[in-house]
């Protein structure tokens, strides 16, 4: 695996770590409770990173019905068994607290729960992410066909229209469907098609641009670019809040810093990308999806994270389970 891909794999782990810290209330016992901002960034980064890599690493192979079916089966076989296991393990606890929820179980087993505005997703709630990704895997084949033929101008235009449309969607749904606003801007699969497509278009833009001059930059220059992108990530929430941009409008918040970091970690060799491309981060990045699917169930049945020791216990349990599953599926 090439280094720039490794750096993005390391970034994937950082995104998962942000979500894990949010769900375990990390540092809340010390009085810090602003981790939801980082978790919001992480969710968008997961989707955008998937779209970006699909296009940037695209080899131009013919997309047929047969190849698309093979692609989908490989994706589903990789993570569906783990999702089913988490549903089965949580079933007895759900029945004891809420009674039999046959319809909900069916939706989770077939990864359809993200299409319905449930008040809460009882069976391993974070699996809504996999439900959305199944849809995006299907859509990606069509988007690849369209974007392969697009010019750089058309790709830039697609990105601009996507950001504008996403902002309009947030405003529209907030005004006319306030009771479903969070669902329509945070879980609804069709909404996530936008950041996914924007990042995919950007991946093709990067392949079409002449970036030879970028590759001639030295480590110091790339480190400055990387740190600038990270600084922008930190300041974005303050800028967005001052402009009245709600957290539901995540794409307009994160698209610029994420695209900047994608370029830096793809084309550069700064200190940050070297750290993320290290074997430790690459390995942890390879566990991220499995860790994401199991972490809430594990945290649910361990002592509440109210100290460093209980938090490290939860982190160790998630690591062991996700590492074992990833090894088994290798």
pLDDT band of 3, cuts 50, 70, 90: very low
Please give the pLDDT value at position 35.
Answer: 61
When pLDDT is averaged across residues 126-146 and rounded to a whole number, the result is 90
Q: At what angle do helices 288-301 and 65-98 cross, to 10 degrees?
A: 10
Please give the pLDDT value at position 328.
Answer: 86
Least confident of 84-88, 251-255, 277-281: 84-88
For residue 243, what is the DSSP state?
A: T
The tens digit of pLDDT for each residue in 16-72 reads: 999 998 888 776 655 555 667 888 899 999 999 999 999 998 877 777 777 777 877
Distance CA 287, CA 324 (A): 9
Distance CA 56, CA 46 (A): 15
Spatial CA neighbour of 260 closest among 215, 217, 222, 207: 222
- 248 pLDDT more than 60: yes
Biggest CA-to-CA distance, the chain: 63
Could you tell me what percent of the chain has a pLDDT over 70?
87
Distance CA 264, CA 221 (A): 10
Question: Which helix H or strand E contains 328, and what residues bound it?
Answer: helix 308-329
When pLDDT is averaged across residues 248-277 and rounded to a whole number, the result is 90
Please give the pLDDT value at position 74.
Answer: 81
Q: Which residue has the higher pLDDT, 211 or 30?
A: 211
Q: Which residue has the higher pLDDT, 75 or 286?
A: 286
pTM, rounded to two decimals? 0.89
Please give the pLDDT value at position 92.
Answer: 61
Spatial CA neighbour of 160 closest among 193, 119, 201, 121: 201
The tens digit of pLDDT for each residue in 293-324 reads: 888 888 777 766 666 777 888 889 999 999 99
The tens digit of pLDDT for each residue in 154-193 reads: 999 999 999 999 999 999 999 999 999 989 998 999 999 9
| Averaged confidence pLDDT in the chain | 84
Backbone φ, ψ for residue 217 (5° rounding) = -70, 145
Please give the pLDDT value at position 298.
Answer: 81
Least confident of 26-35, 80-89, 128-137, 208-217: 26-35
- 282 pLDDT more than 60: yes
| CA separation, residue 73 to residues 66, 69, 113, 136, 235 (Å) | 11, 6, 19, 14, 41
When pLDDT is averaged across residues 125-136 and rounded to a whole number, the result is 88
Could you tell me what percent of the chain has a pLDDT over 90?
43
Residues 6 or more apart whose Cβ sits within 8 Å of residue 4: 265, 266, 267, 268, 273, 277
User: Quick one: the chain helix, strand, coil %, rounded to 5?
Assistant: 80, 0, 20
Please give the pLDDT value at position 189.
Answer: 94
Chain-centroid distance, C-alpha 78? 17
Residue showing tokens 């005004």: 175
């Amino acid at each position: 695996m090439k280094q720039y891909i490794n750096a993005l794999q390391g970034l994937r782990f950082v995104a998962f770590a942000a979500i894990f810290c949010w769900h375990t209330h990390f540092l809340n016992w010390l009085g810090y409770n602003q981790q939801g901002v980082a978790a919001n960034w992480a969710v968008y980064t997961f989707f955008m990173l998937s779209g970006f890599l699909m296009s940037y690493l695209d080899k131009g192979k013919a997309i047929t019905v047969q190849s698309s079916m093979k692609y989908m089966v490989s994706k589903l076989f990789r993570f569906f068994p783990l999702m089913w296991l988490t549903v089965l393990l949580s079933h007895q606890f759900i029945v004891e607290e809420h009674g039999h929820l046959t319809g909900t179980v069916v939706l989770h087993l077939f990864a359809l729960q993200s299409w319905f505005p449930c008040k809460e997703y009882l069976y391993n709630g974070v699996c809504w992410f996999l439900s959305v990704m199944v849809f995006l895997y299907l859509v990606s084949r069509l988007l690849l066909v369209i974007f392969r033929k697009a010019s750089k101008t058309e790709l830039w235009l697609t990105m601009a229209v996507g950001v504008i449309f996403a902002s309009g969607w947030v405003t529209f749904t907030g005004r006319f469907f306030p009771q479903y606003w969070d669902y329509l801007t945070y879980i609804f699969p069709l909404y996530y098609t936008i950041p996914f497509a924007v990042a995919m278009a950007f991946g093709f833009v990067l392949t079409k641009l002449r970036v030879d001059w970028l590759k001639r930059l030295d480590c110091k220059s790339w480190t400055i670019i990387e740190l600038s992108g990270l600084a922008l990530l930190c300041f974005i929430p303050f800028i967005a809040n001052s402009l009245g941009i709600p957290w539901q409008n995540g794409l307009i918040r994160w698209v610029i810093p994420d695209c900047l970091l994608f370029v830096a970690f793809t084309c550069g060799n700064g200190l940050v990308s070297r750290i993320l491309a290290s074997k430790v981060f690459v390995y942890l990045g390879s566990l991220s999806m499995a860790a994401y699917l199991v972490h809430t169930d594990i945290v649910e049945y361990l002592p509440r994270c109210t100290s460093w020791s209980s938090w490290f216990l939860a982190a160790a349990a998630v690591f062991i389970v996700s590492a074992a599953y990833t090894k088994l599926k290798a």
